[in-house]
Structure 1
Amino acid sequence: MTGIVFDLDGTLIDSAPDIRAAANAVLAAEGRAPLTLAQATHFIGNGASVFVTRMAEAADLPDDPDTHARLLTGFLERYETAVDLTRPYPGVPEALDALAASGHTLGLCTNKPAGPTRAVLAHLGLSGWFKVIVGGDSLPVRKPDPAPLLAAAERLGGAALYVGDSEIDAETAQHAGIPFALFTEGYRKRPAEQIPHDRRFARFGDLPRLAGDLLGSTVS
């Protein structure tokens, strides 16, 4: 049995519309213009606090601890239940089914806080596949520090593959010494060729075969 760990936002789910809606509600309360979807997508990846910092900078809001704390509190209040606009990428449930049926144990390692992670998984009916969830607030550090990924791997009894969509995910896998599969249709900032990876894929229908090839196992 082989553990496979996944990133969440931009990898399994397209959550940028919900994240943008939560951010824009905060900005509206501050009397500021909304973020575009492209801006919100670009700001995702380093956790909620960094997202809020980038949001505030784009809105020309003051860069001070009190303002940041107020914005972060407002954002997290909305983010906790921001699920209505989020969708799994095509083929995700089927790929998870195939991997689990082949004996792989599955986990999540994401910079999304654990509460919103569990909420969106439950809303989308994806919770049952994951034996382990390590969120952005589960440990004192976040990706690209390898500790969250290593913690997820340890709780799975070992992991032979990390699946993600971004430069941060690639760096995390490198630091952890775990092979990395890059989903090319997510929230990466650079061309896929410039992101270190062991395999890459654009369709989740290809992931079970790719994982089987990389791990030397047979996937149903």
Structure 2
Amino acid sequence: MTHSVIFDLDGTLIDSAADIHATANSVLGTHGLAPFTRTEVQGFVGRGAPVLVARMLEARAQPTEGPSFDAFLAAFLALYEGACTLTTVYPNAVAALEALAARGTRLGLCTNKPLAPTHAVLRHFGLDRFFPVVIGGDSLGVKKPDPAPLLAAQQQLGGGPLLFVGDSEVDAETATRAAAPFLLYTEGYRKSPIADLPHAASFSDFSDLPGLVARLSA
């Protein structure tokens, strides 16, 4: 049976940290709070927008629940949905997706990014054509590293063997908990050494991905 290949988004297919950084600092500024560096904001990424916002507010000694938090999160999400102008697709990622699609590989997306900005950025870069199945951070009641979102994407793609492609500790844990082979893109947002993340294979250039998928699917 043909394998499904499911991708994470931020830090895997796209480098969106600059847009997330700009959005975060814009909302912080309107609330009279000091900005963060890109590196600081990138360190908050990975577990969805509510956790990102909570981590930012906690670092600024602000409430991480209640009406003020809710208002800050709503303001962040309102800007975040259209934040695509500073984002880039990683080199050779589109060619790799085209090569996989040409082989008849079933492709899906499983991200902790909310669905609205996920669909917006996919449309912006023309990546939506590759992904008939998209699971976002607000698609289910849980997010990665809970395996349920990844398994839901697998089911919607028709079931069968699965490979998961991601860049982070959260993605590695998700794959482990879903009992799925993990392909680690090393140029994303991980904080740990490559050797510390369980993976079936790693790659730094998307040109290598179709070959790795072929080998692991054999």
* Pair in the same fold by TM > 0.5: yes
Give matches, 1:119-134, under 5 Å. 119-134=120-135
Unaligned runs of 5+ in 2: none
Give the SS at the match of 1:82.
coil
| Cα contact 1:48–1:112 (8 A) shared by 2 | yes
Per the alignment, residue 169 of structure 2 pairs with: 167
In angstroms, what is the RMSD of aligned CA positions?
0.9
Give matches, 1:1-220, under 5 Å. 1-158=2-159, 159-216=161-218
Give the counterpart letter for 1:179 in structure 2: P
Give the counterpart letter for 1:161 in structure 2: L
Structure 1 residue 59 displacement after superposition: 2.5
Structure 1 residue 64 displacement after superposition: 3.9
| Cα contact 1:164–1:181 (8 A) shared by 2 | yes
Unaligned runs of 5+ in 1: none
| Cα contact 1:2–1:103 (8 A) shared by 2 | no
Give the SS at the match of 1:133.
strand
Deviations 1:6-32 (A, max 9, x none): 000000000000011111111000111
Give the SS at the match of 1:107.
strand
Percent identity for Structure 1 against Structure 2: 55
Q: Runs ≥4 in structure 1, deviation > 3 angstroms?
A: none
Q: How many residues align?
A: 216
Q: Tell me, in whole angstroms, the C-alpha distance in 1 between the residues paired with 2:4 and 2:100.
A: 10
TM-score, with normalisation over the residues of structure 2? Answer: 0.97
Q: Tell me, in whole angstroms, the C-alpha distance in 1 between the residues paired with 2:122 and 2:37.
A: 25
